[in-house]
Amino acid sequence: MDTTQRADQQRSADRRRRELLEAADRVVLRDGPHASMNAIAAEAGITKPILYRHFGDKGGLYAALAQRHTDALLDSLRAALDAPAERRERVESTLETYLAAIEARPQVYRFLMHPAEGSAAQGEQGFDVGKHSAPLLRRMGEELARVIEERVDLGPDSRQLARVWGHGIVGMMHAAGDWWLGERPCSRKELVRGLADLLWGRLAAAGDRVGGPGF
């Protein structure tokens, strides 16, 4: 097989994988954490063994969907952080972006963060929620830490403190958003304002990095 044939096969495989992920997305939007491999295979017009051939198992499919949605969310968060606005406004915009994303697609959020809820009901083998959702949150924490380190002068221990803040802010957004999405005790705007107030202390007093893009 020559290079051109291999490239054509790879493009075909990539296209087929995207089509299967889009079918999975449609089922997840409908069924949330109850989305089953059977339902996803049926939506894609294939058998479950073929779906397993592409993703291995439900954990493999979950990881691929998590990558897809996390990439999109991180792009939105970076845009909010880099918007031309005052620092407090960008903090609120970043919180708003995250909360708006989980509110707009709650079934996708529940599938990613509470996937085991549907496993027993669907007769499928469950898998450890933390094993799959924790890396997703860690990735978001590291991405936010990089942004903070690039933009805010936190002194001699800037890198370490930026990572503390990055993971802490992501943990706060996740925990508060999960509670809010389940109970809806207040408006999204009120939650954003309350979380921004909690963050604002030392962040408001920190200087921008010299020559950096600022935050």
Please give the average per-residue pLDDT across 59-86, as a whole number: 87
| Residue 142 confidence (pLDDT) above 80 | yes
Q: Are 31 and 119 in contact (CB under 8 A)?
A: no
Nearest-angstrom CA–CA distance, 126 and 36: 11
Q: For residue 184, what pLDDT band results from cuts at 50, 70 and 90?
A: very high
Residue 43 lies in a domain: no
Q: Which of 55-69, 108-122, 139-153, 177-191 has the lowest mean pLDDT?
A: 108-122
| Residue 154 confidence (pLDDT) above 90 | no
Residue 155 lies in a domain: yes
Of 176, 177, 152, which Cα lies nearest the Cα of 164? 152
Number of domains in the chain: 1
Residue 16 lies in a domain: no
Per-residue confidence (pLDDT) for residue 54, from 0 to 100:
87
Per-residue confidence (pLDDT) for residue 114, from 0 to 100:
80
Per-residue confidence (pLDDT) for residue 68, from 0 to 100:
87
What are 122's two structure tokens? Answer: 């669907």
**Burial of residue 101, with CB atoms counted within 10 A of its CB: 0-12 exposed, 13-18 middle, 19 or more buried:** middle
**% the chain with pLDDT above 70:** 85
Residue 93 lies in a domain: yes
| Residue 123 confidence (pLDDT) above 60 | no
pTM for the model: 0.80
The CATH number for 70's domain is 1.10.357.10
Q: What is the mean pLDDT of the chain?
A: 84
Residue 170 lies in a domain: yes
